[in-house]
Amino acid sequence: MQKNPSVKVLANNKKAYHDYFVEEKFEAGISLAGTEVKSIRLGRLNLKDSYCSVKNGEMILQGLHISPYEKGNIFNKDPLRDRKLLMHRKEIDRLFGKVKQDGYSIIPLQVYLKGPYVKVEIGLCKGKKLYDKRESAAKESAKRDMERSMRIDRRKDG
């Protein structure tokens, strides 16, 4: 009987949702050094300008900044080094085909702890145009206004 491991989100990439339409999401493990794991557990990472690419049949995460661990001395790695993502071959090949043909990008959406493991949620994304971004902002604004008016109506009734 397997227990549901606890999930703790460490970093979100909000810019990705602003700049891209997320078509599909995938979960991937990430190959890290010991001091990088310690630094991630402290929440010292930044996903802002990171992206994924396929090199030699392997999924590589580029641009993820993990701050050096203060107590790590000589074992610290380069904060912006490329990191290998752990995914099934079929998933990698499928994503590579989409990126090659249809103009998609593979963007990391969030980093989280799932039990003792560090996982990365990556998304198959298509870029938004400026008018798409404006439309998304208008929808969000309308949704907030509706929720605000609903709260005000409840206060008047109660």
Condensed to tens digits (0 to 9), the pLDDT of residues 109-154 reads 998 988 888 899 998 888 877 777 788 888 888 888 888 888 877 7
CA Rg value for the chain: 19
If one counts every other C-beta atom within 10 angstroms of the C-beta of residue 111, the result is 24
Is residue 16 located within the same domain as residue 62?
A: yes
Convert the pLDDT of each residue in 52-107 to its tens digit. Answer: 888 888 888 888 888 777 776 666 666 677 888 888 999 888 888 888 888 788 88
Is residue 120 located within the same domain as residue 140?
A: no
* DSSP-derived 3-state class of residue 10: strand
| Domain boundaries, position 35 | 7-127
- Which of 88, 80, 85 is closest to 59 using CA atoms? 85
Is residue 1 included in any domain, yes or no? no
Token pair 């602003």: residue: 18
pLDDT at residue number 78: 66
pLDDT at residue number 74: 67
pLDDT at residue number 1: 46
Q: Domain with 44 in it: what CATH number? A: 2.40.280.10
Pairing of strands 65-66, 45-46: antiparallel
Reported as a pLDDT band with limits 50, 70 and 90, residue 36 is confident
Is residue 113 located within the same domain as residue 155?
A: no
Helices (H), the chain: 14-19, 34-41, 89-102, 130-157
pLDDT at residue number 75: 64
How many angstroms separate the CA atoms of 88 and 73, rounded? Answer: 34
Q: How many domains does the chain have?
A: 2
Do residues 63 and 77 make contact, with C-beta atoms less than 8 angstroms apart? no
Is residue 122 located within the same domain as residue 135?
A: no
Do residues 61 and 52 make contact, with C-beta atoms less than 8 angstroms apart? yes
Is residue 11 located within the same domain as residue 88?
A: yes
DSSP 63: S
pLDDT at residue number 3: 60
Do residues 47 and 12 make contact, with C-beta atoms less than 8 angstroms apart? yes
Distance between start and end Cα atoms, the chain: 47
